[in-house]
Chain A
Amino acid sequence: MQFFLDNIDLFRDAFLNTLGLTFFAGVLALVLGTVLAGMRVSPIAPLRGLATTYVEIFRNTPLTVVFFFVIFGLPQIDTVLPFFAGAVVAVGTYTAAFVAEAIRSGINSVAPGQAEAARALGLTFSQTLTTVVLPQAFRTVVPPLGSVLIAMAKNTSIAAGFSISEVSSLLARLTNADPNDLLFILLGVVLAYMVITVPAAIALNRIEHRVAILR
């Protein structure tokens, strides 16, 4: 326990890093994922193809491999990112594929009459999508989108393998300690993740109930 208290600063910094990584990667994933979902239903074929390819590739690649490409691949096209930004890009682009799939399934679940009515009113494709279909789609996909984002918060732990100062890497760094201390550290790490994931799950549940639409 004493050991744990001695390292509380390390712990706090690591926790904040995890939180920051989760936040920025989440924003990137949501924005990119929404754009990709829009592209997948757009009338323009190359955009559809591009988005489909993106989703298929990222969904079938392990996040660790994505990390490798960001860290070793991007420099080959002369783009060197700082570590934190690299982690945000890796986690964000990976999660974006899952976000896109979730939102697309939401778009598919909006009643066809909605889009038909929007078209009958003379709205263009982008107006139909952004003002009629997407707002309803977002409401129906709160649960799957939520589990995607919670999974992403847990996925930030992969950054540990690439030695960003992050909660899990802290665990790896402190492993030479006494077994009893280790147990406390482990419990601390578990608790730190739960502090992020459990309230997120509760909040999502609330949001789900608030925005649910009856059909």
Chain B
Amino acid sequence: MSSLVLFDVPGPKAKRRQLIGTVVGGVLVLALLAVILWRLNGNGQLDPARWAILFDPAAGVPQAFGSALLLTLRIAAVAMVTSTVLGLLLAVGRLSDHRWLRIPVTTVIEFFRAIPLLVVIFALYFVLPGFGVSLSAFAALVGGLTLYNMAVLAEIFRAGILSVDKGQREAAYALGMRKTQVMTLVLLPQAIRRMLPVLIAQLVVLLKDTSLGFIIGVFELLRQARSLVEFFNSRFGDIYTFQLYVGAAVIYIVINIALSQVAKLVEKRTRSSAKAAGAAPPSLATSTIGTGVQRGAEPSF
């Protein structure tokens, strides 16, 4: 239902009321912004000299943010690949005919979906060394992201495979294909294409989650911002804190919105592509139809 259905086409009276509402609403929003800016200014946070540090190569801030961004992207890239591959295998395993495979795989998926990502990372980083397996912070972060997201992605893939029309599988069997062939040649290609938008949305979540590396001391974007803050605080006092965190936040928002836009584009293309014609929209429990993209993913760490 478009929002247009919710209210009548305004007549002269309603138009006047809406105009008043628009003006009052606009004034309220502006007033809120003004109060925030006024307070920030009162604390001297809007001083251009303070913001200049973000773009000052001599202070090393752009370089530090750049290398931290690269590390963040590297962590995300490695975890994306491993969790997608493992997620695919788990999804297929959960749909297996063999009980000895299905039950353990289901347990693994449900287990990692039920506990917080941070706890997984802590377990890898703090608890494993006690058993003689020492992981670097980088490995613990990538490992945690992989374990958690493979479980979430497995559920996404499974929903995709189940949403493929029954006739496809039956036809493939009728042609004499084996189970493996049916899965790899018929079901998976259609499932992945259908789940692509939700998949990308989950990868955005993964990218956001790399910021948890901050807690175990991986020098990704957020940790870097923190250490820059500490560095500048020790030299000049508490004057750049706000600016540096805003800088880090803006970088996160920009790359995530960019990725989300890719997801939207892909969604539009799959919907209009002839090959996917007649395909029902993804029927994952958490996804919804026709309203942007990110809803299907777990909004989570």
Q: In this assembly, does A179 line the interface, its C-beta being within 8 Å of a C-beta of chain B?
A: yes
Q: In this assembly, does A85 line the interface, its C-beta being within 8 Å of a C-beta of chain B?
A: no
Contact A46 B29 (CB under 8 A): yes
What is the 8 Å Cβ interface bit string for chain A, positions 107-150, against chain B (1 contact, 0 not)?
Answer: 11111100110010000010011000100000001011001100
User: Which of the segments B54-62, B97-105, B184-192, B286-294 contacts the partner chain?
Assistant: B286-294
Contact B21 A76 (CB under 8 A): no
Specify which chain A residues have a CB less than 8 angstroms from the CB of B2 in the assembled complex.
Answer: 108, 112
Chain B: interface secondary structure? helix
Interface residues of B (CB under 8 A from A): 1-3, 5-8, 10, 18, 21-22, 25-26, 28-29, 35-36, 39-40, 42-43, 45, 114-119, 122-123, 126-127, 130-131, 204, 208-212, 214-215, 222, 241-242, 245, 248-249, 252-253, 256-257, 260, 285-292, 294-295, 298-301
A to B CB contacts below 8 Å, 15 in the list: A40-B3, A43-B7, A44-B22, A60-B204, A61-B252, A65-B211, A65-B222, A76-B40, A77-B40, A102-B295, A112-B2, A133-B6, A161-B118, A161-B215, A175-B126
Contact A147 B286 (CB under 8 A): yes
Contact A158 B301 (CB under 8 A): yes
Q: In this assembly, does A35 line the interface, its C-beta being within 8 Å of a C-beta of chain B?
A: no
Specify which chain A residues have a CB less than 8 angstroms from the CB of B260 in the assembled complex.
Answer: 60
Give the number of residue pairs across the A-B interface with Cβ within 8 Å: 209
A-B pairs, top 10 by smallest CB distance, nearest first, are A179-B130, A151-B300, A105-B288, A98-B299, A60-B256, A62-B211, A154-B116, A41-B3, A77-B39, A157-B116
Interface residues of A (CB under 8 A from B): 40-47, 49-50, 56-57, 59-65, 68-69, 72-73, 76-78, 95, 97-98, 101-102, 104-112, 115-116, 119, 125, 128-129, 133, 141, 143-144, 147-148, 151-152, 154-155, 157-158, 160-161, 168, 171-172, 175, 178-180, 182-183, 186, 189-190, 193-194, 197-198
Contact A186 B127 (CB under 8 A): yes
Task: Closest B residue to A66 by CB, please name it.
Answer: B249
Contact of B249 among A49, A69, A77, A78 (CB under 8 A): A69
The docked-state distance in angstroms from the alpha carbon of A42 to that of B7 is 8
Task: Closest A residue to B225 by CB, please name it.
Answer: A68
Specify which chain B residues have a CB less than 8 angstroms from the CB of A193 in the assembled complex.
Answer: 114-116, 119
Chain A: interface secondary structure? helix
Q: How far is the CB of A201 from chain B (nearest CB, A)?
A: 8
Contact of A68 among B22, B245, B253, B300 (CB under 8 A): B245
Contact B256 A43 (CB under 8 A): no
Contact B212 A194 (CB under 8 A): no
The docked-state distance in angstroms from the alpha carbon of A63 to that of B123 is 21
Q: A44-B25, A107-B1, A158-B212 are in contact. Are A194 and B114 (CB under 8 A)?
A: yes
Contact B114 A110 (CB under 8 A): no
Contact B130 A182 (CB under 8 A): yes
The docked-state distance in angstroms from the alpha carbon of A93 to that of B92 is 37
Specify which chain A residues have a CB less than 8 angstroms from the CB of B222 in the assembled complex.
Answer: 62, 64-65, 68
The docked-state distance in angstroms from the alpha carbon of A46 to that of B22 is 6
Contact A115 B1 (CB under 8 A): yes
Specify which chain B residues have a CB less than 8 angstroms from the CB of A42 in the assembled complex.
Answer: 3
The docked-state distance in angstroms from the alpha carbon of A15 to that of B214 is 24
